[in-house]
Amino acid sequence: MTTTTVYDEMIEARRPPDLRSGVAGWLRKNLFNGPVNSVITIITAGLMAWALWPLLQWAVLQADWIGQTREDCSGEGACWVFISARFETIVYGFYPEAARWRVDIIFAMLAALIAWLAIPRLPAKRWVGLFALVGFPVVAYFLLVGGHFGLMYVPTREWGGLMLTLTIATVGIVGSLPLGVILALGRRSKMPLVKSVCVVFIEFWRGVPLITVLFMASVMLPLFVPTEVDFDKLLRALVGIMFFWSAYMAEVVRGGLQAIDKGQNEAGQALGLSYWQRMGLIILPQALKLVIPGIVNTFIALFKDTSLVLIIGLFDLLAIVRAGLTDPNWLGFATEGYVFAALVFWVFCFSMSRYSQYIERKLHTGHRR
Amino acid sequence: MTTPAASASNGPMIEIQRLNKWYGDFHVLRDIDLTVARGERIVICGPSGSGKSTLIRCVNHLEEHQQGEIVVNGIAMTQDVKRIEQIRRHVGMVFQHFNLFPHLSVLENCCLSQVWVQKKPRAEAEATAMEYLERVQIANQAYKYPGQLSGGQQQRVAIARALCMRPDVMLFDEPTSALDPEMIKEVLDVMVELAHEGMTMLCVTHEMGFAKTVADRVIFMDQGQIIEEAPPESFFNNPRSERTQLFLSQILGH
Ligand SMILES: Nc1ncnc2c1ncn2[C@@H]1O[C@H](COP(=O)(O)OP(=O)(O)OP(=O)(O)O)[C@@H](O)[C@H]1O
Ligand SMILES: [Mg+2]
């Protein structure tokens, strides 16, 4: 015989148990939950200390920071004097000292614009974004190149160091994303001509190594183009880098476009939205959000590969550091040089990575798609 | 509700003549003739794959047809994008899987086309949106995202979103078949109310109760063809064709 049970007392809603009970709680939960895990934790910590301690000693504890020449270095740890003594060159390259304030202004503007666009709380994103895409490049061009308004002309061959790296990376990133989006849309177009142009473009640029692109831009192009039209070498490299990465970007974005349910486009059609409205308001916001990891991945690869321009004689950050290694007064500090260059690249790339994760979390709108 | 805007013609709402459509070699729609008068409610049913969705999707050109004429609200369907968009502005559609925009809040879902297609000021669009959300009884969820709503709630939002464009005719493609049983009623209630207010409706559904209460005509399709077309009374009580009888016996479960 079955019995019927009736629960006629309502259970009050309670707060969930507190899972984050401070550092001690975290340690116990993650590192010391049981004898085996405790032993593993201790051994791992020991190994890490054993491996990292010498590095810490070399890089920080026994390192020399202050001075002008190599004589200021004791030689026991890292000689960061090598970096600090040539810090200006590493940042500005061969940019004339008297005009470096112009670079500083551009650095400051770039930092301010990125911060403004990146911090969600700040208002007027649309106008700031518009300025960043249209106004800023013009200002940057006139300030950095000069030759107008009484500013001294600084040819791009005198640019270098971090400033050149950031120039290439910024132009590459800002140029390749929109171009990539257009190419991705074009590749999915129903118009045969548009589609084939985009496919050929993407497959061509994706099929050649970036080094080849740079060589073609610096060596081959001048052979085909009449000598009177003298494109700047940096400009040629920039265009090459932009096209190259836009092809990658296009495929990343296309992956996102394909992941969007067909019904989204149909719902937009049924509401009477035009093609560009559907893409701009419905499809792209979702598709781009889906592929943020892929986009940032491409940005990071682009940022690091800016250092390839050294093979066509442009002195980016890494090339400037390398050039310093051959300075007769400073022979033997290759480790410091490369570690520093790696650190700078890492800081930029890691920031991009963290920011992308933050944005992904922020754009998340509920558990179901 | 507001009466449909005075339109170009006083003729039928939808006029379909000898419509034929193929997917490759597959003949999905065969010589479809259908005229829907203003204010008429039509329910389309039929076995899976019979072309019901394809037929109503031709009405707002989500599918392209190869032969025949479709005239919606006095506007003849052509390949011209501008004309297609003009037709779509007056034709609301509700999908089986809701197709709400997941990156926009409920309110933004309802405002999007008002702002971008009808070029309404934001405040006015929001007022209209709230009015219709109120009517489908979901105004209190206006600031949530679709992913935070139940299926039934999402479908009601989808109906409100379509109504915000003040369409002259509404197309429904199995609006309740993706819903759990207890949510079907809340959506059907909204549709019944809409029908009573005089909206022209073309509705693919297997909810025979709905067909009996609101339909002026029930259309049975099989293999791309209209097999039987009758008022619900005679359609359910003495279906003429054998295929209809078979279908009804299956769907009514006896
Ligand atoms: N894009 C397509 N390409 C080829 N065949 C298709 C396509 N879309 C639909 N079909 C076929 O056309 C026929 C009709 O499809 P449709 O979706 O209109 O059927 P339906 O009556 O709505 O069925 P259901 O009740 O399952 O929704 C089906 O046999 C289907 O396989
Ligand atoms: Mg269907």
Query: Tell me: the pLDDT tens digits for B114-129?
Result: 999 999 999 999 999 9
Of A273, A363, A369, the CB nearest to B113: A273
Does residue A248 surpass a pLDDT of 90? yes
- The whole domain housing B198 covers 14-252
CA A187 – CA A183 distance, rounded (Å): 6
Which distant-in-sequence residues (6+ apart) come within 8 Å of A90 by Cβ? Answer: A83, A161, A162, A317, A320, A321, A324
Residue B236 within a domain: yes
Return the CATH architecture of domain A87-95+154-363. Answer: Orthogonal Bundle (1.10)
pLDDT at position A85: 79
Residue B7 within a domain: no
Complex ipTM: 0.91
pLDDT at position A229: 59
Question: Residue B134: what residue type?
Answer: E
- The residues placing their C-beta within 5 Å of ligand 2, an ion, are B 53
CA A158 – CA B213 distance, rounded (Å): 82
In this complex, do A270 and B112 lie within 8 Å of one another by their Cβ atoms? no
pLDDT at position A93: 86
In this complex, do A366 and B103 lie within 8 Å of one another by their Cβ atoms? no
- CA-nearest of A323, A349, A350, A334 to A161 is A323
CA-nearest residue of chain B to A290? B103
Reported confidence tier of residue A134, pLDDT bands at 50, 70, 90 = confident
Q: Which one is predicted more confidently, A79 or A317?
A: A317
Residue B227 within a domain: yes
Reported confidence tier of residue B3, pLDDT bands at 50, 70, 90 = very low
Lowest mean pLDDT among A58-62, A199-203, B154-158: A58-62
A282 shares contact with chain B (CB less than 8 Å): yes
Q: For atom 5 of ligand 1, which residue has the closest CA?
A: B23
Does residue A65 surpass a pLDDT of 50? yes
Q: What is the strand order of the sheet B14-23 is part of? A: B26-36, B14-23, B67-72, B75-76
CA-nearest residue of chain B to A268? B113
Reported confidence tier of residue B1, pLDDT bands at 50, 70, 90 = very low
Of B88, B146, B162, the CB nearest to A269: B88
Which distant-in-sequence residues (6+ apart) come within 8 Å of B37 by Cβ? Answer: B12, B13, B200
* Residue from B21, B23, B96 whose mutation best tests the ligand 1 pocket (most atoms within 8 A of CB): B23
Does residue A21 surpass a pLDDT of 70? no
Q: How far is the CA of B245 from the centre of ligand 1 (A)?
A: 22
CA A340 – CA B214 distance, rounded (Å): 76
pLDDT at position A20: 62
pTM of the model: 0.84
Distance of CA B221 to the CA centre of its chain: 16
pLDDT of B163-172, one tens digit each? Answer: 999 999 999 9
pLDDT at position B254: 53
CA B89 – CA B83 distance, rounded (Å): 10
Quote the tokens at residue B173.
């493609």
Mean pLDDT of the region A86-110: 88
Q: For atom 30 of ligand 1, which residue has the closest CA?
A: B49
- Please count the structural domains in chain B: 1
**For the domain that residue B103 is a member of, what is the CATH number?**
3.40.50.300
Reported confidence tier of residue A19, pLDDT bands at 50, 70, 90 = low
CA-nearest residue of chain B to A264? B99
pLDDT at position A12: 84
Mean pLDDT of the region B78-102: 93
Mean pLDDT of the region A122-134: 87
Residues of B in contact with A269 (CB under 8 A): 60-62, 88
Residue showing tokens 């502005």: B89
Q: DSSP code of A319?
A: H
Residues of B in contact with A275 (CB under 8 A): 81
Residue B8 within a domain: no
CA B58 – CA B71 distance, rounded (Å): 11
Measured CA to CA in angstroms, residue A123 lies from A128, A129, A133, A143, A249 at distances of 9, 11, 17, 27, 29
Could you state, in order of their start, the residue ranges of all structural domains in chain A? 24-61, 87-95+154-363
Quote the tokens at residue B138.
């979901």
Residue B28 within a domain: yes
pLDDT at position B139: 92
CA A169 – CA A165 distance, rounded (Å): 6
pLDDT at position A64: 78
Residue B201 within a domain: yes
- Residue A247 sits at φ, ψ, to 5 deg, of -65, -45
- CA-nearest of A190, A189, A264, A269 to B85 is A269
Mean pLDDT of the region A116-120: 85
**In this structure, how many other beta carbons lie within 10 angstroms of the beta carbon of residue B91?**
26
- CA-nearest of A130, A139, A132, A101 to A115 is A132
Contact by Cβ (8 Å): A42, A33: no
CA B175 – CA B198 distance, rounded (Å): 19
Contact by Cβ (8 Å): B41, B83: no
In this complex, do B146 and A266 lie within 8 Å of one another by their Cβ atoms? no
Q: Which atom of ligand 1 is nearest to the CA of B221?
A: 21
Reported confidence tier of residue B6, pLDDT bands at 50, 70, 90 = very low
pLDDT at position A99: 84
Considering only CB atoms, which residues of chain B are within 8 Å of chain A?
A: 60-62, 81, 85-86, 88-89, 91-93, 95, 97, 99-103, 112-113, 116-117, 144-148, 161-162, 165, 171
In this complex, do A272 and B101 lie within 8 Å of one another by their Cβ atoms? no
Residue B117 within a domain: yes
Mean pLDDT value across chain A: 86
A21 shares contact with chain B (CB less than 8 Å): no
Residues of B in contact with A286 (CB under 8 A): 101-103
**In this structure, how many other beta carbons lie within 10 angstroms of the beta carbon of residue A34?**
8
Lowest mean pLDDT among A89-98, A175-184, A279-288, B40-49: A89-98
Residue B58 within a domain: yes
Q: What percent of chain B has pLDDT over 70?
A: 96
Which distant-in-sequence residues (6+ apart) come within 8 Å of A160 by Cβ? Answer: A89, A92, A93, A94, A95, A314, A315, A316, A319, A320
H runs (alpha helix) in B95-180: 106-116, 122-135, 151-163
Mean pLDDT of the region A253-270: 95
Does residue B191 surpass a pLDDT of 70? yes
